[in-house]
C-alpha cells in the first residue's frame, strides 16, 4: 500500500531509512555507529603508536556520543532533529545501533526503557515489527521490512545483539530461539510480515519483497558477540584470548582461534603498487 505521504519519499534524496518519510537529517542510529567507529579507529591509531591522532579521534567520538545521548526522547524512543523541528520515532534501527555502539554510555534508566520499548512495542509472536505500531509515522510506513507491518530478516538478530549489550542476554536468547519458528518457505527473505493479530509471521506476500535475502550474519553476530562476548576488534588487538568461552545458562563456545596482532607501534605496511 502506497500512501500519498510515502509516495513523496523518492523526491527526498536524504531520507535515511527508505520507507520512513521522517527519518532525515540528524538521527540517533547512524551517528551512534559513527561514534563507535571513531572509538575503534582511535584504538587502532593507539595500537600503531599514533597517540596524538588517537587522542583527537577519541575526543571527536566523545563529542558525537554526547550529542547522540541528547537525542534520547524517553520511553525507549529517539528524536529525529530537522533544521526547523524535532520529531520522535520508535524504530529498531535506533535501538540496535545505539545499543551496539554506545551501551556503555547509557545509564540504567535509559537501558531499562529501551529494553521495555523493544519487548512491549516491537517483539510480536515469534517475530517483530521494525517500527512501533503506535508511532505517528506508522500509517505512512506500511512496509513489511522496515515499517510497522513486519521486519527485515536481519532486524531480529540486530535486536537480539542490542538486548545482549544492554545486559539482557536472557531476552536476546529468547528472540534467537523464537525467530526460526517464523520461517516461511525454509528461510526468512527480505521481509517477514505479521498476520493473525501479530501472532504469526510469513514471507511478505505483497510489495517487492523477495525470498532470498541473506540476513543470517546479524544472527551470527548476536550469538558470537552478543551471547558469548567474542568481539575481535581494534580495541583488543593485543589481547590474549582463550579458545573456549563458557557463559552460564547460555552454553559453551569452543575452537576459537584469535591470536594477538603484531608489534605495537610498528610502521604501517607499504602501499600496494598502482
Per residue in 25-63, pLDDT (tens digit) is: 999 999 999 999 999 999 999 999 999 999 999 999 999
13 domain residue, yes or no: yes
Given a cut of 90, whether residue 71 has pLDDT beyond it is yes
DSSP H helices, 179-257, are 216-221
In a domain, 271, yes or no: no
Are 161 and 221 in contact, with CB atoms under 8 Å apart? yes
Specify the 3-state DSSP secondary structure of 128: strand
Residue 123 in domain:
yes
Residue 242 domain flag: no
What nine digits make up the cell of 88?
520522535
Q: Average pLDDT, stretch 232-243?
A: 83
Q: Which of 214, 128, 218, 112 is nearest to 168 (CA)?
A: 112
The sign one gets for the Cα dihedral 182, 170, 70, 218 is: negative
Q: Which residue has the higher pLDDT, 201 or 29?
A: 29
Q: What is the pLDDT of residues 147-166, one digit of tens each?
A: 999 998 889 999 999 999 99
Residue 270 lies in a domain: no
Total domains, the chain: 1
Q: Is the pLDDT of residue 264 over 80?
A: no
pLDDT: which is higher, 236 or 67: 67
Q: Look at residue 180 and tell me if it is in a domain.
A: yes
pLDDT tens for each residue of 97-148: 999 999 999 999 999 999 999 999 999 999 999 999 999 999 988 788 899 9
Q: What number of H helices and E strands is found in the chain?
A: 8, 10
Give, for 27, the enclosing helix (H) or strand (E): none
Q: Which structural domain range is residue 75 located in?
A: 4-27+71-227
pLDDT at position 70 is: 97
**How would residue 207 be classed by pLDDT, with cut points 50, 70 and 90?**
low
Q: CA distances (Å), 190 to each of 126, 207, 229, 245, 264, in order? A: 16, 11, 28, 33, 43
User: What are the residues facing 150 on neighbouring strands?
Assistant: 193
CA–CA distance, 199 with 226 (Å, rounded to integer): 26
The predicted structure's pLDDT at residue 235: 83
Task: For cell 550469538, name the residue.
Answer: 223
DSSP string across 218-231: HHHHIIIIIIS---
Q: Is 33 helix (H, G, I), strand (E, B) or coil?
A: helix
Phi and psi (nearest 5°) for 42?
-60, -40
pLDDT in tens, 1-19: 334 444 444 455 567 877 7
Residue 49 falls within a domain, yes or no?
A: no
| The pLDDT of residue 216 | 73
Q: Looking at the domain assignment, is residue 250 inside a domain?
A: no
What is the predicted pLDDT for the residue at 265? 52
pTM: 0.87
Amino acid at each position: 500500500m502506497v500512501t500519498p505521504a510515502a509516495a513523496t519519499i523518492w523526491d527526498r534524496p536524504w531520507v535515511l531509512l527508505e520507507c520512513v518519510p521522517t527519518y532525515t537529517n540528524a538521527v540517533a542510529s547512524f551517528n551512534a555507529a559513527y561514534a563507535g567507529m571513531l572509538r575503534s579507529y582511535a584504538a587502532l591509531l593507539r595500537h600503531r603508536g599514533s597517540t596524538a591522532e588517537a587522542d583527537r579521534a577519541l575526543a571527536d567520538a566523545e563529542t558525537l556520543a554526547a550529542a547522540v545521548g541528547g537525542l534520547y526522547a524517553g520511553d525507549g524512543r529517539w528524536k529525529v532533529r530537522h533544521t526547523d523541528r524535532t520529531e520522535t520515532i520508535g524504530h529498531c534501527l535506533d535501538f540496535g545501533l545505539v545499543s551496539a555502539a554506545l551501551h556503555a554510555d547509557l545509564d540504567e534508566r535509559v537501558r531499562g526503557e529501551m529494553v521495555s520499548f523493544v519487548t512491549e512495542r516491537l517483539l510480536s509472536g515469534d517475530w517483530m515489527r521494525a517500527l512501533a505500531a503506535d508511532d505517528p509515522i506508522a500509517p505512512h510506513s506500511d512496509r513489511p521490512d522496515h515499517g510497522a507491518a513486519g521486519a527485515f530478516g536481519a532486524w531480529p538478530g540486530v535486536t537480539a545483539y542490542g538486548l545482549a549489550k544492554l545486559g539482557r542476554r536472557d531476552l536476546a536468547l529468547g528472540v534467537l530461539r523464537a525467530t526460526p519458528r517464523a520461517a516461511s518457505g525454509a528461510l526468512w527473505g527480505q521481509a517477514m510480515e505479521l498476520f493473525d493479530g501479530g501472532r504469526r509471521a510469513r514471507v511478505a506476500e505483497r510489495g517487492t519483497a523477495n525470498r532470498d535475502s541473506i540476513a543470517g550474519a546479524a544472527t551470527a553476530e548476536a550469538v558470537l558477540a552478543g551471547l558469548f562476548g567474542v568481539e575481535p576488534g581494534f580495541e583488543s588487538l593485543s589481547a590474549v584470548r582463550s579458545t573456549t568461552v563458557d557463559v552460564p545458562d547460555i552454553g559453551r563456545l569452543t575452537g576459537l582461534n584469535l591470536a594477538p596482532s603484531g608489534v605495537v607501534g610498528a610502521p604501517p605496511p607499504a602501499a600496494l603498487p598502482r
